[in-house]
Structure 1
Amino acid sequence: MTIELLAPSLARLPFYADALRRGWSPDTVRKAAAATEQLERIAQDPVAFVAGLDDPEACGGPIPMPDGTTVPRLPGFQRWLWDGEFCGSINLRWQPGGAALPPHVLGHIGYSVVPWMQGRGHATRALALLLPEARAHGLPYVELTTNPDNIPSQRVILANGGRLVERFRKAAAYGEDEALRFRIDL
């Protein structure tokens, strides 16, 4: 099946929520905690939850960090991966006025494929589909980070023209773990 990137919708929200309940999380750092928070927000106000996933003006509230602190939200949006069923999500965030990101933001793009759909090329295709949208927002490049042992994610980035920029330590809010930063020129 062909992967599509779809704007989040109330019609497809049950599939997203089902993936969260099955142990998937769109947040590859905060994982289960983020999934639980999202399920609570969906239960409280599904309309507001879906609307908040498309926030190019950064109107939503602050973003919780893994260490419990919060930081201002950047403009951005999420798209759902769909091949006839929900497969995961990919998001784009940017800082107005340039490509540089604040130190607390690990990359312009983040993605996560549900475990039962991994290994089928969905992340590679989703990233390829998102790059023109990043270009349309005026970004000359995007940066993505991954852990050194996450070889599948590195393959996704490299297959889309990424090049390794640096090996670094994440900020204290992320536990100062080692990471790799890749850049894809647009």
Structure 2
Amino acid sequence: MFPQDVIPAGPVVLRLLTDDDVESIVCGCGDPEIVRFIPTVPVPYTRDDALSYLKVAERLWESGGASFAVADAGTDEWLGNIGLKALDPRGNGEVGYLIAPWARGRGVATAATRALTEWAFSHGVQRMELLADVENLASQRVALASGFHREGVQRSAEARRDGTRSDLVAFARLSDDSGDRVRPYLPDFPGGSLSDGVVRLTPLTVEDADDYHALMSLPEVVATWVPPQAPDPADSEEFCRLAGTRRLAGERVEAAVRDAVTGAFAGHIQLGSVVPPLGQAMTGYSTLPEFRGRRFTTRAVTLLVEWAFEHTPLSRIVAGTSPGNLASQRVLENAGFTREALLHGLLPGPDGTRLDDLQWYRLRPPG
């Protein structure tokens, strides 16, 4: 069994839960994000639920785990809970936490997760695991900031509140890992978006699913997609839902193109086919008819490529167009791309045909 220590963690301290935390727990556990991502939290959350949780915490200690309050190091105010499940048969630990809405955005979860993980290592645990819902990007960022490495996705691993199943992203940190913050290959946009005053790029989310699906269903867009087939609405929703976690995994950037003034959805742009050893990725884009001919697409491509060269290790961005798609070719030329090669029969076409692809590239500027 683990000792019931008090663990210092920079701006916070991990200590035993007490009856004095009950009212704060009640307030914190009414938060929509906690309710959304921790399906075992009762709704509505009452004082009796908080008192029951204190007993659950006691039983966790008795079963070989550990349960702490995350408290402000200066005031002792309750800011959240963090715990270590009883070790699995292989001796691995799993950390889980919740942080009150009023304590977010100041490194509380990362400080607590780091402290608990290192405390577990000091008591002989060799491997610590952390699971986060695929849509819980904040928790995934905490894992990376706490030195955990992404290992994959556990499909349909947890029951949601509505009876469906959700995928969980699996992270782990070993006792002999450096513990350094794991920096995503494809970081967030500075300030959450990119804009030149006319066009704004925002991360694609599930709220964009209807607009994205309508765009991808246009016949002229379907004709240039690989493969050239219209998406299913459920597939479009899933694509948007998973865009954030795929970005944190370093796989791709998916962004909505918006009118910077009105916020209207104007199109979609991506940075995919990322090959870190080559420092190369591929961009692709689609624009709604009412925004074509206004240089929105050129501006979007320019914004995304210049962000990539400034904020990622990428040194070469490529793109492909149909040989007959003169409008797309003009977009790339105006965005600083150079024509490179015509690849014959590269892409799958309709009814088993093969299509040529005219390829373009843009390199990171010297220096």
Is TM more than 0.5 here? yes
What whole-Å deviation, never above 9, does each CA across 1:77-124 have from its counterpart, x for those lacking one? 321111122211111102355335xxxxxx711111111221111000
Report the Cα distance in structure 2 between the residues aligned to 1:35 and 1:109, rounded to whole angstroms. 25
Checking the alignment, whether the CA contact within 8 Å between 1:7 and 1:80 is kept in structure 2 is yes
Look up the match of 2:48.
40
Greater fraction of residues in strand = 2
Residue in 2 that maps onto 1:80 = 69
Q: Deviations over 1:140-175 (max 9, x none)?
A: 111111123322212211122111111221336454
User: Per-residue deviation at 1:136?
Assistant: 4.2
Does the residue aligned with 2:144 lie in a helix, a strand or coil? helix
Query: For residues 173 and 117 of structure 1, what CA distance do their matches in structure 2 show?
Result: 27
Give me the TM-score of the superposition, normalised by structure 2: 0.38
What letter corresponds to residue 144 of structure 2 in structure 1? L
Partner of 1:82, secondary structure, is strand
Distance 1:12 1:126, change over 3 A: same
Unmatched 5+ residue regions in structure 2? 1-9, 176-367
Higher RCO, 1 or 2 (CA under 8 Å, sep at least 6)? 1
C-alpha distance 79-21 of structure 1, shift in aligned 2 (>3 A): same
Q: Which residue is 2:210 aligned to? A: none
1:139 shift after superposition: 1.9
Q: State the match for 1:50 in structure 2.
A: 54
- The alignment partner of 1:154 has SS state of helix
Task: Write the letter of the residue equivalent to 1:117.
Answer: A
Structure 1 gaps, min length 5? 59-74, 101-106
What secondary structure, in the 3-state scheme, does the structure 2 residue paired with 1:12 have? helix
Answering whether residue 87 of structure 2 is matched by residue 95 of structure 1, we say yes
Task: Tell me, yes or no, if structure 1 residue 16 matches structure 2 residue 25.
Answer: yes
Instruction: With the length of structure 1 as denominator, give the TM-score of the two structures.
Output: 0.69
Say yes or no: does 1:148 pair with 2:134: yes
Report the Cα distance in structure 1 between the residues aligned to 2:156 and 2:47, rounded to whole angstroms: 28
Contact kept in structure 1, 2:148 and 2:172, CA below 8 Å: yes
Q: Is the 8 A contact 1:26 1:88 kept in 2?
A: no
How many percent of aligned residue pairs carry the same amino acid? Answer: 23
8 Å contact kept, 2:39–2:159: no
**Residue correspondence of structure 1 range 1-186 to structure 2 within 5 A:** 2-20=11-29, 25=34, 28-30=37-39, 32-33=41-42, 36=45, 39-42=47-50, 46=51, 49-54=53-58, 55-58=60-63, 75-83=64-72, 84=75, 85-95=77-87, 97-100=89-92, 108-171=94-157, 173=159, 175-186=164-175
- Is the CA contact (8 Å cut-off) linking 1:26 and 1:89 kept in structure 2? no
1:19 Cα deviation from its structure 2 partner: 2.8
SS at match of 1:119: coil
Specify the alignment match of 1:104 in structure 2.
none
CA RMSD of aligned residues (A): 3.0
Aligned pair count reads 159
Between 1:126-135 and 1:91-100, the stretch displaced more is: 91-100
CA distance in 2: counterparts of 1:91 and 1:34, whole angstroms: 21
In 1, Cα distance between equivalents of 2:86 and 2:70: 20
